[in-house]
Structures are given as C-alpha cells and as structure tokens.
C-alpha cells in the first residue's frame, strides 16, 4: 500500500457504505460522461473512495439497503467538504462482455438487478468493468474542501493534495480475503 495518494474514485455513497461493512468487495463500472466513448479505464491501482450521490437513486439499490440512503446522502451532499473514510487497492479487473457472466456478479453487489443490467447495456458497447477491490478503513477519516474540479460525471478525481494511508486496516480479514477475491474472479471469467 502506498503511504500517501492524491487520486480518488467516485462511487455512490451507499456503495461506499457496503464496502466499508465488507458486504461488497467489487465495483462495476462503465464510465462517466466526461470519459467519452471509451468509457471507464481502471488506470489507478490504488485510490481513495470519493462518496457521491450523482445518479444514485433508490430503484438502483437492492431494497434492503434503501432505508440507509437518506442518512448517507446527507453526509455525501455536504456542500463544503468531501469526507474520505476508505482506501482501495485494485486486486483484479475483468472486462465482462457476456451478460450471463455479468448476472452471476449481482449477488456480490448492493446494486439492483435493473441497475446492473442498465450499466451493462449503457453506451457504445455491451459489458462492464469488474473491479475486485481490497478495501481499507482509514484509521482517521479525512476531509478536504470541496473544489469545482471535483464536480462532473467522471470516475477518477485528482485531489490536488496527498492524503495519508498510515494505520489503515483491511475491512475483510487477511484469512478470508484470498478466498473472496478468487471466488469472484472465477465467476467473472466463466463466460
């Protein structure tokens, strides 16, 4: 793990909560409008999670997670600060272009079946990027002032300042992580 980093990945606040609780260990990405026709590129192997509510809606979340949206949205919509509590290390990525393989990933995310299907069908190509991410909780959550450069429909956000990762601890325990990672990668690669 890097000792400090200045790159963040935008993700729905509710998904960040699921990652923080160890209820989800994958991210399914297609790309933001600002990323053009090629869509998302998993170019940064380590990053902070930038909680956002852009495009987040109750119908895109599994029903048992919907009651949490209001509380999380309040923090994620802070007009002056961005709150960072999580750090991710990309441990595997697969471009999933088979719908049957994509459907097998639904149990590993809090996204609704409809949201996964919409993401899969969005844009110029059918498919999505699966990111298997090892999530770490920061020992001390950090805040940064919200900047106009952070706004917009884009996945990657250069923070303009480095944040430290020291003391961060894994959400999924060491003994369980290899099994979790390998199981998901195997499912994704069965086309």
pLDDT > 60? residue 111: yes
pLDDT band with cut points at 50, 70 and 90 for residue 48 = very high
Identify the weakest region by mean pLDDT among 10-19, 44-53, 64-73, 145-154.
Answer: 64-73
Element (H, E) at 84: strand 81-96
Domain of 149, in residue numbers: 4-189
Token pair for residue 5?
């980093």
CA atoms within 13 A on the CB side of 31: 21
User: Tell me: the pLDDT tens digits for 127-183?
Assistant: 998 999 999 999 999 999 999 999 888 888 999 999 999 999 999 999 999 999 999
Give the position of tokens 């919200």: 146
The pLDDT of residue 42 is above 70: yes
Count of the separate structural domains present in the chain: 1
SS (H, E, C) 21-70: CCCCCEEEECCCHHHCCCCCCCCCCEEEEEEECCCCCHHHECHHHHHHHH
């Amino acid at each position: 793990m890097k000792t400090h980093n200045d790159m963040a990945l935008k993700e729905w606040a509710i998904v960040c909560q699921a990652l923080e609780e160890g209820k989800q260990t994958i991210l399914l990405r297609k790309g933001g409008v600002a990323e053009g026709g090629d869509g998302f590129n998993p170019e940064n192997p380590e990053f902070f999670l930038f909680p956002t509510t852009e495009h987040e809606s109750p119908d895109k979340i599994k029903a048992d997670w919907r009651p949490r949206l209001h509380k999380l949205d309040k923090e994620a919509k802070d007009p002056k600060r961005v709150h960072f509590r999580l750090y991710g290390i990309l441990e595997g990525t697969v471009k999933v272009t088979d719908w049957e393989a994509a459907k097998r990933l639904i149990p590993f995310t809090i996204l609704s079946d409809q949201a996964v299907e919409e993401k899969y069908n969005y844009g110029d190509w059918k498919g999505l990027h699966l990111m298997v991410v090892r999530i770490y909780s920061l020992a001390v959550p950090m805040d940064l002032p919200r900047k106009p450069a952070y706004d917009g429909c884009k996945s990657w956000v250069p923070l303009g300042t480095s944040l430290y990762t020291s003391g961060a601890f894994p959400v999924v325990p060491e003994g369980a992580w290899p099994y979790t990672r390998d199981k998901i990668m195997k499912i994704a690669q069965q086309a």
